[in-house]
């Protein structure tokens, strides 16, 4: 095997997809050089450049962290769009909770199924009436 399939994707786009003779990336425990036929490996990706070598050509991409999966015949790099840190995630979580608490402060915690059903039925009936009106006209 002289080449290995490489896919680099981030959650909002496909960054690169093609063949390579060698891939260099920065794993969470150090530099990685991945040649075709590598043992299956799963590791974190540290923010840094990812170099893809195919014969004489070489391309470099910047990835801000993520994961690398290596199979003997392919490499998948799942890149994050933003830099992630636990502390940042924590503050985002607090924000989401606060948003929920703020606007729903006076709300009871058990769901009123009959009320929900009634409200939905009303909305559906309204829609149906509109459709009926439309047919009659």
Interface residues toward another protein, by CB under 8 A: 7, 9-14, 17, 27-29, 39-44, 66-67, 69, 71, 76, 78, 80-82, 84, 88-97, 99-100, 103-104, 107-113, 115-117, 119-120, 123-124, 127, 130, 133-134, 137
Coil, strand or helix: which one is 89?
A: helix
CA 34 to chain centre: 24
* Cβ-based nearer residue to another protein, 49 or 124: 124
* Cβ-based nearer residue to another protein, 37 or 55: 37
To another protein, the closest distance from the beta carbon of 40 in angstroms equals 5
To another protein, the closest distance from the beta carbon of 23 in angstroms equals 15
Structure tokens of 54? 């195919």
CA 41 to chain centre: 20
Q: Write the CA distances from 13 to 17, 74, 78, 94, 112, integer angstroms.
A: 11, 19, 11, 28, 42
To another protein, the closest distance from the beta carbon of 79 in angstroms equals 9
Q: Rounded to an integer, what distance in angstroms lies between the CA atom of residue 115 and that of residue 118?
A: 5
* Cβ-based nearer residue to another protein, 56 or 133: 133
């Amino acid at each position: 095997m002289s080449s290995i399939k490489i896919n680099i994707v981030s959650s909002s786009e496909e960054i690169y997809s093609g063949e390579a003779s060698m891939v260099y990336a920065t794993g969470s425990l150090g530099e990685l050089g991945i040649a075709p036929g590598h043992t299956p490996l799963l590791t974190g990706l540290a923010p840094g450049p990812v170099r893809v070598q195919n014969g004489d050509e070489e391309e470099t991409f910047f990835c801000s962290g993520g994961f690398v999966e290596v199979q003997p015949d392919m490499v998948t790099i799942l890149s994050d769009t933003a830099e992630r840190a636990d502390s940042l995630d924590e503050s985002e979580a607090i924000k989401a909770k606060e948003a929920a608490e703020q606007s729903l402060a006076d709300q009871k915690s058990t769901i009123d199924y009959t009320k929900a059903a009634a409200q939905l039925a009303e909305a559906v009936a309204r829609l149906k009436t509109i459709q009926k009106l439309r047919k009659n006209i």
